[in-house]
Amino acid sequence: MTSPQSDPAPQPPQGHTHTHAHTHSHGPAAPVSRHLRKVIAAVLIPFATAVVVGLIAFWPGGVPDHERTGVGFDRQTQDGKVVQVVKVDCADVNAAQVPPTGDTSTPSGREAVNEQEGECAKATIEVTSGEDKGRRFVEVVQPDAPRQLKEGQGVVVAYAPDAPRDLQYSVTDVNRKVPMALLAGIFALAVVLVGRMRGVMALVALAVSFTVLTLFILPAILQGSNPLVVAVIGASAIMLAALYLCHGVTARTSVAVIGTLISLLLIGLLGSLFIGWASLSGNTDDNTGLIHGLYPDIDMSGLLLAGVIIGSLGVLDDVTVTQTSAVWELHQADPEMGWKRLYRAGIRIGRDHIASVVNTLVLAYAGAALPLLLLFSIAQSSVGTVANSELVAEEIVRTLVGSIGLVASVPVTTVLAALVVSADRAGSDGAQAATAAPTRTGRGRRRKTG
């Protein structure tokens, strides 16, 4: 027979005591009333419907065709393999030419002399895919080249059909498919082993995110749709799928979704304002220049803003889910806390989260731009000059706008969660239903054991 709980107050009947213990041990932490479920649904169902309508309206149906330029990534490529590497004198293969003036005072002149006097690698490459499978060509690798070739190594070769036959193929990169696939497998295994079913759902959500990105966002932008609108629709679809797949269709998740949505809207507004005010074109390097050349109708500044929104989404999910869960757990620990006390306790947790997340975001962008920052350091440019250049200004705007959205998401999500969970404390039909079921179960168990 189940023993009653010890309590300094007068003991209630044992059946009721058992019910009290059972409710706190196994019942929901903060039952959500039918009324609040209707309120949350009234917000999220129209939003989800709008996202679905947006996906249908802007669905691209594929990437538009264009004539390949043979520049950068816009080249035909095939797989290849290094079948032989022979060391030769660079002078014999005419790998470098000394300037006609004989001037070796410049870096290019000194480099040419070193290359001519050094030992080059003469690699024989065999094409292993495509119509020319089995065809071989020779690639000369200079001694100071950043990428050296080894026998048996897989490579990526570019094909230029309009070039002379001997020059149609050239090595553009190393084939990294095997190590990348192995690393992805280790990552997936670690996520599943530690996260179990949550880890599996996280991987499913990741697959959904890549699907939306590759099948909707990128092709729609290439077809000329407004990058900002496409990014908002795509990011919203990713957010809904990721949060509900990973955390379940609950009021707690719904609050995190609403907090994320409000923060994304703030990021979009600030990004649009400051990208326009700072006259950021979004066309700052060879890759963006190539995109603009191939698809001149694409709004490059809009593409920059779309990147800010999508890049901020992943960190926003983490912040909003953590804050919502913190408030729910605080309510479970002390169901008598009002929404103001819940908010104050939750915001104290959020302040620690803000400090770590903002620092993470800034360091992530700084790490991505490290080569660029090194160039400015070599040039001994002032901080003002560096910050004023469009390349760096883009990263500054991207970082600060995203960080403002992250900071704002903490109080927004915390107050939403506190209001929702505290509104269900007393008198809600959902709470009564959740309490009534364990009561009957507890009495049934007591009679059986008696």
Q: Has residue 101 got a pLDDT over 60?
A: no
Q: Has residue 16 got a pLDDT over 50?
A: no
Say what the pLDDT of residue 233 is.
92
Say what the pLDDT of residue 389 is.
77
Q: Has residue 203 got a pLDDT over 80?
A: yes
For the record, the structure tokens of 318 come out as 């983490």
- Which residues neighbour 135 within 8 Å (Cβ) at sequence distance 6 or greater? 126, 127, 169
What DSSP string runs through 46-69? HHHHHHHHHHHHH---SPPP----
Q: What is the pLDDT of residues 53-67, one digit of tens each?
A: 999 998 887 666 656
Say what the pLDDT of residue 189 is.
96
Q: Has residue 19 got a pLDDT over 50?
A: no
Distance (Å, whole) CA 239 – CA 256: 10
Helix (H) or strand (E) holding 34, with range, is helix 34-58
Q: Which of 139, 131, 132 is CA-nearest to residue 155?
A: 139
Distance (Å, whole) CA 371 – CA 374: 5
Distance (Å, whole) CA 108 – CA 327: 62
Are the CB atoms for 440 and 395 separated by under 8 Å? Answer: no
Say what the pLDDT of residue 163 is.
77
Q: What is the pLDDT of residues 345-381, one digit of tens each?
A: 889 888 887 877 777 777 776 776 777 777 777 766 6
Helix (H) or strand (E) holding 124, with range, is strand 119-127
- Which residues neighbour 294 within 8 Å (Cβ) at sequence distance 6 or greater? 66, 69, 74
Q: What is the pLDDT of residues 386-418, one digit of tens each?
A: 777 777 788 888 888 888 988 999 999 999 988
Q: Which of 54, 53, 56, 63 is CA-nearest to residue 220?
A: 63
188 burial class (0-12, 13-18, 19+ CB within 10 angstroms)? middle
Are the CB atoms for 419 and 24 separated by under 8 Å? Answer: no
Can you tell me the mean pLDDT for 42-47?
86
For the record, the structure tokens of 245 come out as 């797949």
For the record, the structure tokens of 367 come out as 């790490």
Q: Number of C-alpha atoms within 13 angstroms, CB side, residue 381?
A: 16
Q: What is the pLDDT of residues 265-295, one digit of tens each?
A: 899 899 889 988 988 887 777 777 777 777 7
User: Which residue in this structure is represented by tokens 């040039």?
Assistant: 379
For the record, the structure tokens of 430 come out as 């959902």
Can you tell me the mean pLDDT for 128-135?
86
What DSSP string runs through 243-268? HHHHH-SSHHHHHHHHHHHHHHHHHH
Distance (Å, whole) CA 101 – CA 396: 44
Pick 290 or 142 by higher pLDDT.
142
